Structure 1
Amino acid sequence: MIDLLGRSGHLDEAMDLVRTMPMQPNAIIWASILSACRVHKDVDLARNVADHLLKLEPDEDAVYVQMYNIYIDSREWENASKIRRLMEDRGVKKTAGYSSIAVAGQVHKFIVGDRSHPQIMEIIAMMEEITHRLKSVGYSPITSQITVDVDEEEKEQALLAHSEKLAIAFGLISLAPNLPVHVIKNLRVCEDCHSAIKLISKLWNREIIVRDRSRFHHFRNGACSCNDFW
């Protein structure tokens, strides 16, 4: 119920339910509200929720990363830097992201910018086709997802090298056209990848299922089962 209230933007009602629960809210409940705070851009509530989460899970990197992204989204650069310093001071390391896909009984694993796959040239060619077709229908990379100080072209290239995009490109060249593409990612799918995969599902007329750290995303005909509550 708290997750549903958060998804629909009723954050005050979600917090009222938390306060009146007959048991202490656990990390899952607080994490649901924190995700809703990012979607609905409630920075003040996010700060309060993050305090509760960090008391319960001080070594969980996802809390720090989520707050960092919330601050970046709201252009609170100084607070974003404080979160990074806090991670460093506490020795919390961000989990490296990877995506995997099974083809013909073999699991293929990709990391961001990965060029080690034996079919990397075919994958790159497919990524170039994906990029061309996405831009032809008006897709614009969400470069705000890249926080390092590089120019826009480099940011676009970095987004194209995300592991889930590489795994999907490999699935498109390796699986029969009538088969869905199943990808597993150990972290949350970023906003840019989520937006791009919706379009890929429509342009290639393929079902794409991505299981990330938080939920299943079932992409079909340009839409996702999460209703963009990614």
Structure 2
Amino acid sequence: MAQKPQKIIFKGAPMWVVTFADLATLLLTFFVLLLSFSNQDIIKFREMLGSVQGAFGVKVKREGEFQSVLTGNAEEDKKKEEEKKKEKMVRQLKEVGESMKKAIDKSGLQKSSDVVATPKGVRVRVKGESLFASGSYKIKPEARKLLNNLARIIRNSRFQLVVEGHSDNVPVSGGLYKSNWELSGARAAIVTRYLISKKVPKNRLKAAGYADMRPIASNATPEGRAKNRRVEFLVLKF
């Protein structure tokens, strides 16, 4: 007796696989849309996000998580952070400038010194005769009070100090130094050495001599030449 032919039944995948595939497709679509809309207007994206939210049947967080991708908040945050740092630096420089003025007042050198704000930082100008005798490189005893206060201010801050020596255009006659270049450079170096002796870190100090190359007044008059003979202290960001 012949056997009855049997039916061959092909079993398909379980139903949950179909649902999972649909979900995976929706997720893929969502992320493709997310990328394609990343440079579009935020309002349009919110409309698109609402339709995706309806498809998933869940609440999708719209703020914060995707905001930086869509609106460039990362760059904005970076700019704001830089602005905050600049504002903080300006405040600190202002405080240093005020401290410098107080130091000048305490030293009794108000008439021969001043503090000015520059794009680079705070600049303190002190007439040369207040720190040194004419043509000399030795610091006057009465000037040490000012230098001691300046050293304390720089030690307690995070700024760099540049000490600049300047002169008038009258050639040096006699003495140890043969030119204004040598004299202005030596004075800057001597003041810097003194500040180092007062525990100001070496890596936060610089010395420079400019001779008569950077006048702040005319060298045609005695008053102008007196102003040009000076030592300047420039407080910079470290």
TM over 0.5, shorter chain: no
Instruction: Give the TM-score taking structure 2 as reference length.
Output: 0.26
Instruction: Give the TM-score taking structure 1 as reference length.
Output: 0.26
Of the two, which has the highest radius of gyration? 2
